[in-house]
Structure 1
Amino acid sequence: MTERIYRVSALAMAALLSFTHLASAADAPALERWRSYTGVSWDAPKEGVAPAAFSGSVGAPIAGVHFDAKGTAFVSTPRLVSPGVPATLSILDTKAEAGPARLTAFPSLQGNATDADPEQNLRNVLGFYVDRKNGWLWALDMGFVAGETESPAGSQKLLVLDLKSGRTVKRIALDGVADRKASFLNDVVVDESRRIAYISDSGSRSAPNNAVGLIVVDFASGNARRVLDRHPSLQIEPGVKVVSHGAEVWPGNPLLIGINGIALSPDARTLYWTVTTGTRARAVPTVILRQAGSTDVQIADKIQDLGAVGGNSDGLVTDAKGNLYITDVTRNGIVKYDPKANSMSLVASNEGVHWPDTPAIQPGGDLVFTSSSLNDHFAGSVKPGQERYELWRLPLSSRPAKAK
């Protein structure tokens, strides 16, 4: 039977947000403000002096973060606020704990240039995935940059890059499965063994009737297909408002984001997702997604409703044990879904967190997520010099967190 679709009113949403499944204070791990940056810089230090912040740092918020097997951090600075950001994908020097975030364009500044071939260069990366098994980085290029109403032909793509050399391993075109005017290619996760990528299309540029969908990409063949196109389980929920720090985000011009974060179980047999302008987490077996002949009706029949997250959400990640972690932008923290117990709980929260976005697991097993007040940057309400781009850490290993 196709899953039941829940419609939640704004009043019901408020009641829902007050009902938190908090872990006990004694058992809950504490969030640590791991790194805090005042802007970004692509300049190298000179004579031991830290570089000055890029003059347009307010238009370059750090959104995504992922780590390779050695702990090197890669970050995305999407060109959604300003098209003049020098690079949309970079390596972050985490040895620097403050000052401007020290970035090195990946694979190079030229490879991030917007005035070059849109089919080959990275123009606007929000979601990406570090593939530790194959030694690759899968960069999801949205195509369009701030100020463009349509993605240039060939710019919507999945670019697979070698982590060591930065060379392009493969380019997979997405224009055939994504709308150049309506799509918002948000996040990507990869089955590293099968070399299958799953992409979320939030369809935000076609709101309020978001052109949401899932895209399944096979590396070997280079084929991509779109499934669950405009399906209600991926769509914004009518009546739901996005709330951050107790206030509606963009009142009068509501934030309408469909499917956003996605994640795979460790065995890659289950795909998870949430809807930002929504309340629930869902899952589907990947075997049905990998079957080329499966229909949307057949796929929808396999969708599981995992329950209410407790707040609006953004990014997702799973740990080695199979637990799913969800960034909660309403309660400024992390929600854990335990698939064995089928339970959802807010395990950590801090008022210093402003829009927790992408979560990632470090090689040591701890969870790190970005917090950059993205909602305020996109609204243009952050003044130059006031930006703070932070990485927060949640210890999942046995070691205690440092007070900070």
Structure 2
Amino acid sequence: MLHRSFLTAAFALAALLALSQTASAASGPRLERWRSYAGLSWQPSSDSANPAPFAGSVDAPIAGLHFDANGTAYVSTPRLISAGAPATLSKLDTRARTGPARLTAFPSVQANAIDGDPQQSLRNVLGFHVDRRNGWLWAVDMGFIAGEPEAPEGAQKVLVIDLASGRTVKRIPLDGVADRRGSFLNDIAVDERRRVAYISDSGMRSAPHNMVGLIVIDLASNRARRVLDKHPTLQVEPGVKVFSHGSEVWPGNSLLLGINGIALSPDGRTLYWTVTTGTRAHAIPTAVLRKTDATEAQLAASIRDLGAVGGNTDGIVVDAQGDLYITDVTRNGIVKYSPRSKAMSLMAADERVRWPDTLSTLPGGDLVFTSSALNEHFAGSVKGGEERYDLWRLPVAGRNAKAR
């Protein structure tokens, strides 16, 4: 009887917590499906008819998303499932609301060619950053494409591309700070004023002993350094599994993804990150990251644990007020962390959201994120012709000042 009473009380508490989270999310701004696309197309856009979808759309889910100062959208379609997509980095015509996503390779189809010079061509982009201050796009090239056991020499890199002309402003090689076989160069955060960038290496290709780390890039010197190599706060948490819509992701072949989303405070003084196969968020002052003579012990001592997020995570972003927003792939929504109150709460959720990924801000301040059921695509459970690539919007502009 005691055991049964204990279980009853435990289930009641769990139900109460779930109800509390739902009520909390319901009391805030509501998520709205802003755009929904049936596949992709790199055919010329037309206002009169939908272009024909790309035959391999199911193998090229939209992952990354960012907007320039004019509201032009850029997206990444990483070549992780198939190498067949015409481009891994493209502009997205958000004026179209029906049919496939209308894409234009950026800066060109030739610049995205997998058979081009690995040191110059964009082969496999997941994370990138649109630099509104300098008018650039910082693209992280993972180097390898689907079917390759390791990245070709020189393929792991950052290309800084001028948004207006499409020319490469700077190329920063990463082979010296990333492993061509084991690294998984996931996301990038850019201090636009100091022209310093931070890259998360999730190390998924070396799982279960992920080669996680942070890479610090100084554009002025064109140098990259690797720090916090294999540090526990960047690593997969032991015993943690990733859940989406109530089910474990890839049961029997668990998703082991270390540090994923990273973001900077508005003043560039704090770097935040989360671990997908993990439960917590962390932060570190960037001043210590920029010190070239800082020891690993000094770096580790500067890390702050911000607390439990509430679910597994993917993308993160910081608004102009300094509040941190985190995609929660377990609860299908957005978690907000306030550095002032140190409170972490589920801000909004919707059961129709399937794997919320990259978070970005519109020029007016509202949040937009991609939702493409990435876990299902990588598991091969989405049939061709049934893929839906959604962009969800969280209207917060009225609550916050305009985004930078």
Same fold (TM over 0.5): yes
* Contact 2:318–2:324, Cα closer than 8 Å, also in 1: yes
C-alpha change, 1:283 and 1:318, in structure 2 (3 Å) is: same
Amino acid aligned to 2:317: V
Q: How far did 1:22 drift?
A: 5.7
- Structure 2: distance between partners of 1:98 and 1:290: 46
Which string of whole-angstrom CA distances, capped at 9 and with x for unpartnered residues, describes residues 132-169 of structure 1? 00000000000000000100000000000001111000
Deviation readout 1:199-235 (Å, 9 max, x if unpaired): 0000000000000000000001100000000010100
Q: Which secondary structure state, in structure 2, belongs to the residue aligned with residue 54 of structure 1?
A: coil
- SS of corresponding position for 1:284: strand
For 1:189, the equivalent position in structure 2 comes to: 189
Deviations 1:36-80 (A, max 9, x none): 000000001458322010000001100000000000000000000
**Residue ranges of structure 1 left out of the alignment (5+ in a row):** 1-13, 400-404
Q: TM-score, normalized by length of structure 2?
A: 0.93
TM superposition shift of 1:101: 0.1
SS in 2 for 1:300: helix
Gaps of 5+ in 2: 1-12, 400-404
Aligned to 1:350: 350
Distance 1:268 1:396, change over 3 A: same
CA deviation map 1:234-270 (0-9, x unaligned): 0000100000000000000000000000000000000
Shift of residue 295 of structure 1? 1.1
Quick check: 1:367 aligned with 2:367? yes
* Bigger RCO (CA 8 Å, 6+ sep): 1
Offset at residue 98 of structure 1 (A): 2.0
Partner of 1:248: 248
- Confirm or deny: 8 A CA contact 1:140 1:157 kept in the other structure: yes
Partner of 1:200: 200
How many residues are treated as equivalent by the alignment? 387
Q: Tell me if the contact between 2:245 and 2:330 (Cα under 8 Å) persists in the aligned partners.
A: yes
Distance change (3 Å), C-alpha of 1:46 and 1:283: closer
Indicate the percent of aligned positions where both proteins have the same amino acid: 71
- In the alignment, what sits opposite 1:83? 83
Indicate the SS of the match to 1:194: coil
* Residues 23, 346 of structure 1: 8 Å contact kept: no
Give me the whole-angstrom Cα distance separating, in 2, the residues matched to 1:314 and 1:236.
13
Name the counterpart of 1:11. Answer: none
| Alpha carbons 1:280, 1:305 under 8 Å: kept | yes
* Partner AA of 2:114 in structure 1: T
Partner of 1:113: 113
RMSD of aligned residue pairs (Cα, Å): 1.8
| 1:148 aligned residue | 148
**1:272, distance to aligned residue in structure 2 (A):** 0.1
CA distance in 2, matches of 1:183, 1:99: 36
Query: Offset of 1:296 from its aligned partner?
Result: 1.1
User: Larger helix proportion, structure 1 or 2?
Assistant: 2
* Distance across 1 between alignment mates of 2:200 and 2:14: 29
More deviation in 97-106 or 14-23? 14-23
**Other-structure match for 1:8:** none
Contact 1:16–1:310 at 8 Å: present in 2 too? no
